[in-house]
Amino acid sequence: MDYESIIGYKNDLLNRNGYESYSSLDINEFLKRIRVLSKDYENDGKWGITAGGLLFFGKNNAIIHAFPHFQLDYYDKSHPEKDRWTDRISSIESDLNIYTFFKTVEQKLYSTIENPFTIDKESAQRIDHKTPMTIALREGLINMLMHTDYFGDLPLIVNNYLNYYEFANPGKMKVPPQIFSTPMTQ
């Protein structure tokens, strides 16, 4: 398990309303509460890490041991005059799990768009104002990571092109394309 990821996620939750009770939990209790650790009722009843917990908070080599084709990639292909990408984030090369990949790529995506902000007068900290584009990029990234087949043999890929973004993951849509399609997506 990647301790820094766990602490980062716990802090993210504590910064949101409704999660104040987590502040008093030690790491083990916190992981049990969010169901990263669970009892194995089918075998010996001992506590162990869940598959989701491993994917979300595990070290990359441990994830690959259980999910041999696990790979998350971000490519900046927004410079068509170049033959290949100009920036890459790879879960393999950077030892990333789902949480650290999400946090890294989320910031990378936000840096590609205009993001209005103000400065808090008391703390002098930046306060970002979410735009429809920041919300859409975050939603696309979350959906790609959530709705995938991690047992598949294809990587998850985020491509940042000059005029659009592409989120690709292995697996099938849970709804037929004709139901998913709207007049705007056709």
Tokens of 178: 């004709």
Q: Are residues 108 and 183 in the same domain?
A: yes
Question: For residues 73 and 91, what is the distance between their CA atoms, to the nearest angstrom?
Answer: 6
pLDDT at 172: 72
Residue 112 lies in a domain: yes
Residue 50 lies in a domain: yes
Classify the phi-psi angles of 179: left when phi > 0, otherwise alpha if psi is within -120 to 50, otherwise beta: alpha
Residue 64 lies in a domain: no
Q: Are residues 180 and 104 in the same domain?
A: yes
Q: Residue 74 belongs to what domain range?
A: 69-186
Q: Are residues 43 and 79 in the same domain?
A: no
Residue 101 lies in a domain: yes
pLDDT at 83: 81
Q: Are residues 115 and 184 in the same domain?
A: yes
- Per-residue pLDDT 10s for the chain (186 aa) are 999 999 999 999 999 989 999 999 999 999 999 999 998 888 788 899 999 999 999 999 999 999 999 999 999 999 989 888 999 999 999 999 999 999 999 999 999 988 777 888 888 887 777 788 889 999 999 999 999 999 989 999 999 999 999 999 987 767 776 776 655 555
Question: For residues 51 and 149, what is the distance between their CA atoms, to the nearest angstrom?
Answer: 12
Q: Are residues 90 and 45 in the same domain?
A: no
Q: Are residues 84 and 47 in the same domain?
A: no
Q: In a 10 Å sphere around its CB, with 0-12 CB exposed, 13-18 middle and 19+ buried, how is residue 167 labelled?
A: middle
Final residue belonging to a domain, choices 58, 80, 99 = 58
Q: Are residues 95 and 41 in the same domain?
A: no
Q: Are residues 115 and 174 in the same domain?
A: yes
Tokens of 182: 């709207």
- The domain tally of the chain equals 2
Q: Are residues 132 and 171 in the same domain?
A: yes
Q: How many other CB atoms sit within 10 Å of the CB of residue 115?
A: 14
pLDDT at 117: 75
pLDDT at 186: 52
pLDDT at 125: 82
Residue 107 lies in a domain: yes
Distances from the Cα of 49 to the Cα of 28, 35, 52, 57, 100, angstroms: 11, 9, 8, 10, 18
CB 98 within 8 A of CB 55: yes
Residue 63 lies in a domain: no
Q: Are residues 113 and 175 in the same domain?
A: yes
CB 30 within 8 A of CB 22: yes
DSSP state of 122: T
Question: For residues 109 and 12, what is the distance between their CA atoms, to the nearest angstrom?
Answer: 19
Contacts of 144 (CB under 8 A, 6+ apart): 156, 158, 167, 168, 169
Q: Are residues 126 and 73 in the same domain?
A: yes
Q: Are residues 97 and 186 in the same domain?
A: yes
CB 76 within 8 A of CB 160: yes
Residue 113 lies in a domain: yes
pLDDT at 130: 77
